[in-house]
Structure 1
Amino acid sequence: MSFILVAEQILNGLQFGVMLFLMAAGLTLIFGVMGLINLAHGSLYMVGAFAAAAVAGATGSFLLGLVAALTAAAVAGAIIEVAVIRRLYKADHLDQVLATFALILIFSEGTRWAFGSFPLFLDIPDWLSGPVSLPGGIQYPLYRLALIGAGLAVAAGLWLLIERTRIGIQIRAGENDREMIAALGVDISRLYTLVFALGAALAGLAGALVGAIQSVQVGMGEPVLILAFVVIVIGGIGSIKGAFVGALLVGLTDTLGGIFLPELLKLVTDPSTASTVGASVASMAIYILMSIVLILRPTGLFGSTA
């Protein structure tokens, strides 16, 4: 196995991880601050992808497509928070699951009605297309490198927002004691709407960025949502740092597992069956990782023990 192949797969894992972080960060913010299980988060990912594909296709501008994705997802998030989610904060988790699952169906059928059942395609802009030469003779797609850079930039910006701004202080306080900050005069309803819209915007951005390397279609957010839940379980519910570390672990495990496990199995089993068995084990690798983390740290890597 060559160095170039391993390096490319590590970069692929990082790219996958930072995109998962954009999904998981919004999800962990919403659950940490509001205590809400939001199954419709994947639908907001889909909304962002469709908005980006539609606007970029109509205008020819990829950047306008990204702006449209952020705007559409944030607005959709704010609307459903005010219209639906706000009524669920005091409900038990089963009611939250049922209500947000209904939102998945509504978004899926609404998107199919608006755009049809056929997938859309979002083209990579010319200024981000083609490979770039990296040290060691590695030729890697410029767009995927840009995704890694964009994800890291968003992670840094989100950390600054949470840790260094007044609204970040309110978000962290709302996570720990919402009754107290309400008593101190903070408009908790407005804070919840802002957090939900922020989480939705992050999901929409992830959908738009990934939409350029895969087809944009109805239901594309649900598989990513499952992985995002795995990320926040590994990293610790409510922790942005945990979501970042967990996302990188999941991205690298999923990508490298599919490469290395079949090769390792060839050393101990029949090579003719190693690829099939290795692919099956690789598909379970992230869940094995999650199980190990939960055995060692039931609250996740950075979860609160309080």
Structure 2
Amino acid sequence: MPTYLIVEQLLNGLQFGVMLFLSAAGLTLIFGVMGLINLAHGSLYMIGAFAAAAVAGATGSFVMALAASLAAAAAAGALVEILVIRRLYDRDHLDQVLATFALILIFSEGTRWMFGSFPLFLDVPSYLSGPVTLPGGIQYPLYRLTIIGIGLAIAAGLFLLIARTRIGIRIRAGEADREMIAALGVDISKLYTLVFALGAALAGLSGALVGAIQSVQVGMGEPVLILAFVVIVIGGIGSIKGALVGSLLVGLTDTFGRILLPVAFGTFMEPSAANSVGAALASMSIYLLMAVVLIVRPTGLYGRA
């Protein structure tokens, strides 16, 4: 395989991985701190994408579109936590699954009612369009490099937030012993609303950034939700570091699998059959990766028993 193709696919895998991280980081915070199984997380991703597409269409500003995705997803997340999720913390996980699954249906139909069934399109701004020349003469889309930079910057910001700030200390304490920090005077309800809104905002931003690469449509969040769960299982529930490492592993495994497996099967199969079988196995590769990690470390790479 030529060097330029390896570098290009490596960057594609990194871009896919950091997009997954933005969704998985919020999900692992919610799951780790609140112990809540939130199937509606993908709907918040969708809300961010639709808000960005609507604002970009009305104003022509990509920056305002990203701000709208953060605000809309965070507001929706806070509202859902206050009205619905707050009543589920002491309930069985099955109740949480049923309630958040109902939220998926509500958000999907509500979005279809507001925006229609046809996909929307969010254009890449002119100052981020076109390729950039990397060392070695390799050309790569500037927008995808920007996504990688934004994702890594947010990852660094989350690490600092969790490890170095007073809010982060409370979040970590809430994960370890929520009754104790409540007894020490911390308003656990406000803390949970903040964590949920933060996770929702990250998912919404991820949806907006991806919306400029693919179409924005109802139901776009469900595949991302599945991959985000795979990521937090691989990385370890409640670990931001695990979410980042797991996201990058999944992104690189999926990207290189879609390139290498059809080539490998093409040595002894017809090209059309090799592409079909290779693509199918590439889709399975991330789940095989998850199975291997769970066999070796049942708590995930950075999870705690």
Q: Structure 1 length normalisation: TM-score?
A: 0.98
For 1:182, the aligned partner's letter is: A
For 1:150, the aligned partner's letter is: I
In structure 1, the residue corresponding to 2:204 is in which secondary structure? helix
Partner of 2:276: 276
What does the per-residue CA deviation read over 1:197-252, in whole Å, with 9 as the maximum and x for residues that have no partner? 00000000000000000000000000000000000000000000000000000000
Partner of 1:122: 122
In structure 1, the residue corresponding to 2:132 is in which secondary structure? strand
CA distance in 1, matches of 2:156, 2:178: 26
Shift of 1:279: 1.4
CA distance in 2, matches of 1:280, 1:199: 31
For 1:207, the aligned partner's letter is: G
Percent identical: 79
Structure 2: gaps spanning 5 or more residues: none
Shift of 1:292: 0.2
CA distance in 1, matches of 2:262, 2:176: 45
CA distance in 1, matches of 2:156, 2:303: 20
Aligned pairs (5 A) from 1:120-199 = 120-199=120-199
For 1:206, the aligned partner's letter is: S
Shift of 1:3: 1.1
What does the per-residue CA deviation read over 1:159-189, in whole Å, with 9 as the maximum and x for residues that have no partner? 1000000000000000000000000000000
Asked if 1:227 corresponds to 2:203, the answer is no
**Bigger mean CA deviation after superposition, 255-264 or 223-232:** 255-264
For 1:237, the aligned partner's letter is: I
In structure 2, the residue corresponding to 1:133 is in which secondary structure? strand
**Bigger mean CA deviation after superposition, 130-139 or 77-86:** 130-139
What does the per-residue CA deviation read over 1:16-35, in whole Å, with 9 as the maximum and x for residues that have no partner? 00000000000000000000
For 1:66, the aligned partner's letter is: L
Shift of 1:264: 2.1
Structure 1: gaps spanning 5 or more residues: none
CA distance in 1, matches of 2:212, 2:80: 27
CA distance in 1, matches of 2:141, 2:178: 45
For 1:121, the aligned partner's letter is: F
RMSD (Å) for aligned C-alpha atoms: 0.8
CA distance in 2, matches of 1:276, 1:46: 29
In structure 1, the residue corresponding to 2:140 is in which secondary structure? strand
Partner of 2:290: 290
**Bigger mean CA deviation after superposition, 91-100 or 271-280:** 271-280
Q: Structure 2 length normalisation: TM-score?
A: 0.98
What does the per-residue CA deviation read over 1:10-51, in whole Å, with 9 as the maximum and x for residues that have no partner? 100000000000000000000000000000000000000000
Q: After TM superposition, which residue ranges in structure 1, 4 or more long, deviate above 6 angstroms?
A: none
For 1:101, the aligned partner's letter is: F
CA distance in 2, matches of 1:64, 1:246: 30
Partner of 2:40: 40
CA distance in 2, matches of 1:265, 1:217: 34
